[in-house]
Amino acid sequence: MPSLDLTRIHGVVFDTDGVVTDTARVHAAAWKQTFDAFLRARDLPPFDIRADYLRYVDGRSRLDGVRTFLASRGITLPEGGPDDAPGTPTVHGLGRAKDALFMEQVSRYGVAAFPSTVALLRELRRRGSRTAVVSASRHCGAIIASAGLAHLFDALVDGNDSARLALPGKPDPALFLEAARRLGLPPGRVAVVEDALAGVQAGRRGGFGLVVGVDRGGTGLLASAAADIVVRDLDELTVTGRVPVMAR
């Protein structure tokens, strides 16, 4: 079985949606509803969750997701501003429409964590590893709290931090590097766990000691993005060794 050696890796940074919490499909559905309304009004083919979401949106900030997907269709929209009404044909307007749909679903149904991820987090901490959670979303803190997982992380870096610190979004490694900094560890001693193509690319570009891809759909995209390990679920990942006491 693939393994994570804690004599070499002293901290692990987890992406949120699709890795820690089962919210990636909620994001995907909200994106589809948002983009389909926009595309239908222009007699254009609908948004494809398997192809378009994974390639152009997953793992990116909300506004970058709008820009990147529309660019794939050869569409350019005005940027607009944060006060644009949801659904306005601007980057901000489509982003706000998606955000409203996502939060409506979270508020109605709550947030579930993947049991395998929770088990891995507990095992990592039992063996002395530091842990952090990262998301491009401004709602990351609320999502993690709703799932009852805040006590399992030493650090959280989200879209609010990205805006405050002017951190570029994935596939730039800035969010992951900030998480490693908050853990007090060099990137080479940190593993990144991601389910998004842009996130795996960010982990590779950041010089992290290990990049683990979680490919729940079996797409093969994460292996092509040079993840060191690819698993269908985190219960396939074995933890070995302990973080040396002097490194804790």
- Is 17 a residue of the active site? yes
Which DSSP symbol is given to 125? H
Q: From the DSSP assignment, how many helices (H) and strands (E) are in the chain? A: 9, 8
- How many other CB atoms are there within 10 angstroms of residue 234's CB atom? 22
Whether residue 6 contacts residue 124, with contact meaning beta carbons closer than 8 Å, is answered with yes
Q: Name the DSSP class of 43.
A: T
CB 105 within 8 A of CB 68: no
Catalytic annotation, pick one of 17, 58, 64, 158: 17
**DSSP H helical ranges for 78-229:** 91-109, 115-126, 140-146, 159-165, 174-183, 197-205, 221-224
DSSP letter at 13 equals E
Q: What are the tokens at 225?
A: 């993005």
For 112, other C-beta atoms within 10 Å of its C-beta total 11
| Annotated catalytic residue within 15, 58, 64, 161 | 15
Q: How many residues does the chain have?
A: 248
Q: Is 12 strand, coil or helix?
A: strand
| Burial class, 241, CB count within 10 angstroms (exposed 0-12 / middle 13-18 / buried 19+) | middle
> Catalytic annotation on 215?
no
Catalytic positions, written as ranges:
15, 17
